[in-house]
Each structure stands twice: as C-alpha cells, then as structure tokens.
Structure 1
Amino acid sequence: MVEAGEITPMDYWLVRLAFNLLGYATIFVPGYMMIRYLRKIRYDETAGPGFFQQLAKLCVFGKENEHQVDTGSPAKKGDSGGFSESAGLLVFCFLGLQGSYLTWGLLQERIMTFEYGETANGQGEKFKNSTFLVFINRILAFMIGVIVLFLKQQPPHTAPLFKYSFSSFSNIMSSWFQYEALKFVSFPTQVLAKASKVIPVMLMGKVVSKRTYEYHEYLTALMISFGVGVFLMTSQDVTHDSGRTTTISGVIMLVGYMSFDSFTSNWQGELFRKYKMSSIQMMVGVNMFSCMLTSVALIEQGGFVECVAFMFTHPTFVVHAVILSICSACGQLFIFYTIEKFGAVTFTIIMTLRQAFAIMLSCIFYGHPLTLLGIVGVLIVFIALFLRIYANQRARAVKLAREAAERSSANV
C-alpha cells in the first residue's frame, strides 16, 4: 500500500516516459509491419468489397488513386478573400485561440502545481498522471470532431489514415512534456521556452515542408521571442512553489516539448497542402490515434484505476479536468482551422502572444506586480507583429503589381 506523498518508481519521469513509449510501441510496431506488408503485396489492387478489407485499404492507402491530388504549389494562406475579410478571419482565430488556451493554461497550472485536499491541519496530494490529462483532452476533442464531421459536409478524404499517427504521436508527446515540465521548472521558465519556439517551428518548416522565409520573418520572430523573454524574465515567479529552480530534467522536458510541437504543426500543414482535407477531418484523424495511444498506455500501467480513485477523492479535480478538456477541444478546432487558413508560423505567432497574456493573467490572479521592463517587452512583441503584417502586405502588393505588369506585357 502506497502512502500519500510517498515516492514510487513511477514518480520518476524517465520511468513514466519509458512505460508510455512501450505502450505506444505495442501499436506502432505491429502497425508498421502490417502497413509494410500490405504495401508490398499491393493490397489496394486485390482488396475485396468487405468492410474490413476496405477499412484496411483506407488506413494504409487512402483514396489517392481515386482522387487526383494537386501537389503543386499551395495557395497563399489567407488569400481567399480581400484584406478586410482575411483580417476579420485572423481576428476570429486569434480571439478563439486566446480564450481557449488562456483558460486552459490557468487550469493546467492549477492542476499540476497545487495540491488537492490540502487543509489547515493536513497535507493534500498533487495529481501526477500527465498521460490521463492528455487522454481526457483528446477523447472529448475526438467526440466533438465526429459530431461536426457528420453535421457539416466535408471534402472527399484521400489521405491514408496512418499518416495522422505521426502528428498524433508528436502531439501527445509535446503535451506530456508540457505537463511534466511544471513538476521541474517554474511557470515563467516554461512559458519563456514556449514563447521562443517560433524559430524552431520555422526551422522545422524548412525540413518538413521545404519552406523558405523572408528576412523580415526571421527578424520579427527574433523580436517576438526577445520581447516575450524580457517580459517573462523580469516578472516574478507565479508558480505555487516559488523556491523551485530549473533542473536538467526540466530543460529536457522543455526541449522535448518544443521539438515535438514544432514537428506537429509543420506535419499537419504538409498534410493540408498535399491532401486538401478539412480541419475537422484533421482533428478527428489525429485525435482518433491520440485516444488509441494514450488509452493503451494507461491500461498497461493501471493509470485509469489510479486516476478514477483520485477523482472520487477530490471532486474539485473533476470540475477542473472537465473545463480543461472543453477548452482543449475548442482550442483544437481553432488550431487546425488557423493552420489550414494561415499556416504554421502565423499560428505560432498567435500562440506566442498568448504566453505574454498568460503571465499577465497569472499576475492578476496571484497578485504579482508588473515591472517597467516587462511592459517594454510586451510593446516589443506588438511592434514586431505590426512590422510583420506591414512587411507581408507590402510584399503581397509588390507581387500583385509584378503579376499585373507581366500580364500586360504578355497581352502586348
């Protein structure tokens, strides 16, 4: 019998990570072998009309041969309408992401850094199972996505289902590292690392999507990261355990989070470009694999029993977990829609601004004062954002003028 507060081997993050990866491997290894075998025998050419045969064909081959997929240069993000329409759509995505994830961030900090059941006469206990939090977030998002999928007409789906598993794995790993990081580093340290990820996202974009960026994009990315960094580093620690310092484990967690998260947005952007699926189809596909992977890991480790017992002991945690899941599900709708319409870098900039707002909310909720340098940091971020918008609009105007001149010359 494990007493409250007693440290067990599963309390060590490396052990938990190893068990999680082992659970994921029980799906990925057989799945890889099956996909390789079916592709080798060209199962799509011989599959019968039965349900399971068609399901296997859909998972491994998709419908690439039935629908011609345009793999040429993608249309410029946000160019489907005029400037006012694009600006309005961007504001809508911005507000949706901010509202969902600012609430989600406050609850995340509450769940992972504060004790439940703590009284004046007794010590409480902290919730420790990050995989369970990832699972409840993904299961609700999956159910909402399925409902929207049936209510709203979707474009023909051509992508092999297994390709969603890559971004699903990177997504649950980035979320797990994010939750676990709060056990080792302060909240401002975690937010600072998250705010600076715009650069690794751009680098990952060059690797995954072979994208190129203008010099002003690199400059504004550096300004945004610097401005948010100044604000965060001059703010007081807003975590419950103010004496905690950054550790090697915490650094590993933050690096893991940024690496996996950078891959996720770029891989999803590449799938949007190649297969032209809708954001809801992306949401359902990714969360389907996420639910499968996390549930297997929890079952193998007995995590469901442990977490349900915690929920019965601390009803307040249930309320926090439900609201956390709702915010996560709504946030995912905005994530996929924003990436589909404006691309991974624009999405990352919006989420970078969210980090500064998250610290401001924490200061308000926990009474931490704002410093003058912190305010300067926020101004730097907004100046960088306006510079980016101005530079992009100017580059777009120059491109349109050049195309008009070329058409005029061709007509002559």
Structure 2
Amino acid sequence: MLVHLIVYKSKFPGYKYLVAGIITLGVLIFTLGSPKKKSESGNDLNEGNVFLGLFYLTVSLFMDGLTNSTQDQLFKNNAKKNITFTGGHLMACLNLLNFTLTTIYALIFTNQFQYTWSFLQANGAQVIYDVLVFGLLGSLGQIFIFLTLERFNSVVLVTVTVTRKMISMCLSVFLFGHKLTGSQCSGLICVFFGIFLESFYKIFKKKHDKRQVQHDKEIKNEKKQI
C-alpha cells in the first residue's frame, strides 16, 4: 500500500489503512515474539547483526511491494487499452525470466548442477517424484495467486497470503503440538482481528449500498407518481 501511495499515487479507503496497520502490527508482534533458539552449546542461534537483518528485510519488502503494485498497474493499463493480457501470461513470463536468470547464475557462479545430478543419482526415482509433485502443487498455487492479482489486486492477495500463513501456524499448533508464546498469540489475534474487521466492513457496506439503491428507487417512483 505504501508503494502504491508513494510511487503510483494510488488512494485507498480510510478503513484499508487501519486494517493494514492492524495486520502489520500483528505480524510484527508475532515475529518479535518468537522464542530464541539455543544451540547444543547453549549459545543463542538468533545472534547476529540485527540492524543489517532489518535493513535486508526492509529492502526485500519494498521490492516485493514494488513488484505487486507494478503488476496492478499492468492489469489496469491492460483494461484501459483493451489488450488481451491475463494472469496466466504474467505467470508464464515471470517463470521464464526466473528460470533464465537462475540457470545463468547457477552455471556461472555455482556448481549446483553437478551437485543436483549427484544427488539425483544417489537417491533415485523418489527424489524425481518429490520434485514433480512439488512443482505441480507450486504451479497450482501460482495459478490462484495470479488469478487473484488479475481479478482483484495485490492488497487482497497479501491479505489472503497472510491469512493462509496464520491459519497454517494455528494448524501446526493443533496437529503437531507446537507451542506459541503469549506475544505470538497476541500477534495472531491482532492479525485475525484486522482481517475480520475488513470483512465485516465490506458486509455492512454492501448492505448499506443495497438499502441506498432501494431508497433511491422508491424516491424516483414517488416522483413519477406525483
């Protein structure tokens, strides 16, 4: 939303900023509330340059926001110019670009292909099966992502992905016995509160708009009778 506002001068309803702030706060509380991991020697595994990590995270989030907002602009321009450009086209182009850049990087700067070939030879058909299933499920997931981008926008997509991650976290607690700290529970509650707040607002707004339309029709009918 910040990239939309700063770069593309897009505007959102006031409640959107409130919901985004609540969800962001919830994710922040959840992340900072994660328990510190200890190594076998008792040292803190979370030790490191915190400020450098936050800088990298900020840059990553900005680039992610720039990508999503630019995709929104592509679909908007597509609709204005009546160009046949779908989420499937965008998905194919991005995957082709990712494949090309990753292949070039792997060939020039790493020995990943040799390592991968050795790994496949050592582990046999089971690895190939796992890779194919992972690729298939990843492709299906991408289809829904780009359909959401095409039919709605990146703000809705982010809300969906955050909700999915938080639901996955809740399921991991119930299914696998993972434990959450008090801060993490507070973050979860904050995120779901923001999501439900937006849902309730849209429901009430839709009902209000229907009542307004019905009211306008009644006034028009009365004027015609007069």
Who is 1:215 aligned against? 14
Who is 2:154 aligned against? 344
Deviations 1:196-242 (A, max 9, x none): xxxxxx01122454320122111111111222333343343579997
Who is 2:29 aligned against? 230
Say whether 1:303 aligns with 2:106: no
Q: Which ranges of structure 1 fall in alignment gaps of 5 or more residues? A: 1-201
Say whether 1:370 aligns with 2:218: no
The Cα shift of 1:399 comes to 5.8
Say whether 1:275 aligns with 2:78: yes
CA distance in 1, matches of 2:184, 2:25: 11
Say whether 1:245 aligns with 2:47: yes
CA contact (8 A) 2:27 2:187 kept: yes
Q: After alignment, is 216-225 or 239-248 more displaced?
A: 239-248
* Pairing partner for 1:256 from 38, 59, 82: 59
Who is 1:290 aligned against? 98
Cα 1:319–1:255, aligned 2, differ >3 Å: closer, same or farther?
farther
SS of 2:46's equivalent? coil
The Cα shift of 1:261 comes to 1.3
Who is 1:357 aligned against? 167
CA distance in 1, matches of 2:78, 2:174: 44
Cα 1:317–1:364, aligned 2, differ >3 Å: closer, same or farther?
farther
CA distance in 2, matches of 1:398, 1:239: 54
Deviations 1:166-217 (A, max 9, x none): xxxxxxxxxxxxxxxxxxxxxxxxxxxxxxxxxxxx0112245432012211
CA distance in 1, matches of 2:37, 2:197: 31
CA distance in 2, matches of 1:345, 1:354: 14
User: What pairs up with 1:177-188 in 2 under 5 angstroms?
Assistant: none
CA distance in 1, matches of 2:71, 2:159: 17
Who is 1:327 aligned against? 137
Relative contact order (alpha carbons < 8 A, sep ≥ 6): 1 or 2 greater? 2
Cα 1:399–1:374, aligned 2, differ >3 Å: closer, same or farther?
same
- Aligned residue pairs total 210
Deviations 1:271-307 (A, max 9, x none): 1121142221221122122222222222222432233
Determine which structure has the larger helix proportion and give its number. 2
Q: After alignment, is 206-215 or 245-254 more displaced?
A: 245-254
Cα 1:389–1:360, aligned 2, differ >3 Å: closer, same or farther?
closer
Q: One-letter code of the match for 1:272?
A: F
Over the residues paired in the alignment, what is the CA RMSD in angstroms?
3.6
Q: Which ranges of structure 2 fall in alignment gaps of 5 or more residues? A: 80-84
Say whether 1:392 aligns with 2:202: yes
